Amino acid sequence: MIETSVDAVRIRSPGTVAPDTTVTEAARLLCDPAVPALVVLEDGDVIGILTESDIVSLVAESDARPVVRTIMSTPVTTISPGATIRDAAETMRTAGVTQLPVVDDGVYRGLLSARTLAPYLSRRSLDIERRREPVRPSRSNRPKLPAGE
């Protein structure tokens, strides 16, 4: 059986953001359908990833508009371009993520999504259960609702 490497499939190159980017600006970038997630880079290193669900959680639970660093997912699970797509699917499944930054010798190369892998693998291979809760900002500003509402 021939194994296809991550480098052989289409790796997206969506925008990246700095950790001090405002969540409002990040949300604007995520409005583009071609941007499934934003990789957060600091001094060229991948330090986090931000998804639409991170922003939705923030908006649903707070009026705050902090910087990306406060709500990004970290640490980030990454994959090398030489890994096989089966390895990538297993990494996604194990980590409970649908986006993997591709990093080669410490250099960010692009973003691999479960959607990109779908034509190459069985549906079962991509059965990914999200394992982390979105990061939630402080709830101190959140109005308290009486029980039953």
Question: Does residue 149 or residue 113 have the better pLDDT?
Answer: 113
Query: Which of 85, 116, 74, 82 minimizes the C-alpha distance to 99?
Result: 116
- In angstroms, the CA 58 to CA 79 distance is 28
Query: What is the structure's pLDDT at 115?
Result: 86
Q: What is the DSSP string of 18-59?
A: -TTSBHHHHHHHHTSTT-SEEEEEETTEEEEEEEHHHHHHHH
In a domain, 147, yes or no: no
Query: What is the structure's pLDDT at 82?
Result: 94
Q: Kindly report, residue by residue over 40-92, the tens digit of the pLDDT.
A: 999 999 999 999 888 888 888 888 888 999 999 999 999 999 999 999 999 99
In a domain, 148, yes or no: no
Question: Does residue 84 or residue 144 have the better pLDDT?
Answer: 84
Query: What is the structure's pLDDT at 124?
Result: 56
Q: How many domains does the chain have?
A: 1
Query: What is the structure's pLDDT at 63?
Result: 81
Query: What is the structure's pLDDT at 11?
Result: 84
In a domain, 74, yes or no: yes
List the CATH number of the domain containing 79: 3.10.580.10
Query: What is the structure's pLDDT at 78?
Result: 95
Q: Kindly report, residue by residue over 10-32, the tens digit of the pLDDT.
A: 887 868 999 999 999 999 999 99
The residue behind tokens 């609702």 is 145
In a domain, 133, yes or no: no
Q: Kindly report, residue by residue over 85-121, the tens digit of the pLDDT.
A: 999 999 998 999 999 999 999 999 999 998 888 887 7
Query: What is the structure's pLDDT at 2?
Result: 61
Q: Domain limits at 59?
A: 6-126
In a domain, 112, yes or no: yes
Query: What is the structure's pLDDT at 127?
Result: 52
